[in-house]
Amino acid sequence: MTAQLINGNLLSQTIRADVAKRAAALTARGRQPGLAVVLVGDNPASQVYVRNKVKACEDNGLHSVMEKYDGDMTEAALLARIDALNKDPKIHGILVQLPLPAHIDAHKVIEAIAPEKDVDGFHVSNAGLLMTGQPLFRPCTPYGVMKMLESIDYPVRGANAVVVGASNIVGKPQAMLLLQAGATVTICNSKTRDLGAHTRRADILVVATGKRNLVTADMVKPGAVVIDVGMNRDDNGKLCGDVDFEKTKEVAGWITPVPGGVGPMTITMLLVNTIEAAERT
Ligand code: GUN
């Protein structure tokens, strides 16, 4: 069997066309949706992500501001910037790119963002709303994964879903969204014993660990949907995910490539969340 690809670029195009329409309608009413992206330090991967986020705004009619600061910025200075963005009526979404330098308390910074502008959905109040089934913002990557499952009309209700990785950014909110869609969810982490015994039971397998080739073909149930959230470099410097794509695509029913899978969807859902924030004002 050769799996069908779930193409994140193609799906993004469709969703971004709708985003552009909604952005134009808001702009016509004098409320152009605006996103502020804040980057502290010079992490090369973060610089690329942030640039892509700002470009996606520009391409789809959203206003964006990029604030770049040196790695030695103080926590107090960053909190002051967030306070100013919270009060700026042109800004509907605030994203502080993670990771932050070690001397800055990331939790404190996330809690300083006004929950109604927290388009990442990381604020404890938004995490709580998600957990209790009344999300204000769905975190972008898990939201994108749900859109990918929707795009193949996958019957999530009653399916066995296994999420490998338990981060606040992906694994935990992903599990919540799958649970709310009616899946039976297992969350695995770096200490899970016999990972394959869990993953082999998955109808839907979402892998988000940042470990190249962690999931191999023998760990995948034939016909499963395999969603690879990983973003790593192979020995030749080429982008790759957490799943051994070449062999696993012969076992899975559907699979997402890296690049061109979940990555573009994360940015697309950030645009959607920013539009939603602006529509609520
Ligand atoms: N770093 C890695 N992924 C993300 C994300 O989705 N949002 C933010 N703010 N930082 C990240």
Dump pLDDT digits (tens) for 191-215. Answer: 999 999 999 999 999 999 999 999 9
Q: Is the CB of 228 under 6 A from ligand 1?
A: no
* Domain ranges, residue 230: 139-263
Q: Give the ligand 1 atom nearest the CA of 99.
A: 1
Residue type, 107: H
The answer to the question of residue 279 being in a domain is no
The answer to the question of residue 281 being in a domain is no
Q: How far is the CA of 222 from the centre of ligand 1 (A)?
A: 32
Same-domain check for residues 188 and 243: yes
Same-domain check for residues 152 and 253: yes
The answer to the question of residue 1 being in a domain is no
Q: In what order do the strands lie in the sheet with 225-228?
A: 4-5, 254-255, 225-228, 204-207, 160-164, 184-188
Using an 8 Å Cβ cutoff, are 50 and 99 in contact? no
The answer to the question of residue 76 being in a domain is yes
CATH number at residue 56: 3.40.50.10860
Q: Is the CB of 273 under 6 A from ligand 1?
A: no
Is 253 known to sit in a ligand binding site?
A: no
Amino acid 87: pLDDT: 98
CA gap 104, 111 in Å, rounded: 13
Same-domain check for residues 86 and 166: no
Same-domain check for residues 185 and 221: yes
The answer to the question of residue 254 being in a domain is yes
> Three-state DSSP class for 232?
strand
Amino acid 1: pLDDT: 67
The answer to the question of residue 128 being in a domain is no
pTM exceeds cut of 0.85: yes
Q: How far is the CA of 85 from the centre of ligand 1 (A)?
A: 18
Q: What are 239's strand-pairing partners?
A: 233
Choosing from 117, 147, 168, the residue where a domain stops is: 117
Same-domain check for residues 38 and 81: yes
Is 106 known to sit in a ligand binding site?
A: no
Same-domain check for residues 67 and 97: yes
Nearest CA to ligand 1 atom 4: 98
The answer to the question of residue 21 being in a domain is no
Q: What are 154's strand-pairing partners?
A: none
> Cβ of 27: how many Cβ atoms within 10 Å?
15
Same-domain check for residues 88 and 152: no
Q: How far is the CA of 98 from the centre of ligand 1 (A)?
A: 5
Same-domain check for residues 93 and 186: no
Same-domain check for residues 109 and 158: no
Burial letters 97-120, b for 16+ CB under 10 A, else e: bbebbeebebeebbbbbbebbbbb
Number of domains in the chain: 2
Q: What are 205's strand-pairing partners?
A: 162, 226
Catalytic residue among 42, 68, 70, 97: 97
Same-domain check for residues 144 and 256: yes
φ/ψ bin of 95: left (φ > 0), alpha (ψ from -120 to 50), beta (otherwise) = beta
Same-domain check for residues 144 and 249: yes
CATH number at residue 145: 3.40.50.720
> Three-state DSSP class for 95?
strand
The answer to the question of residue 153 being in a domain is yes
Low-confidence ranges of the chain (pLDDT < 50): none
Same-domain check for residues 144 and 258: yes
Q: Is the CB of 118 under 6 A from ligand 1?
A: no
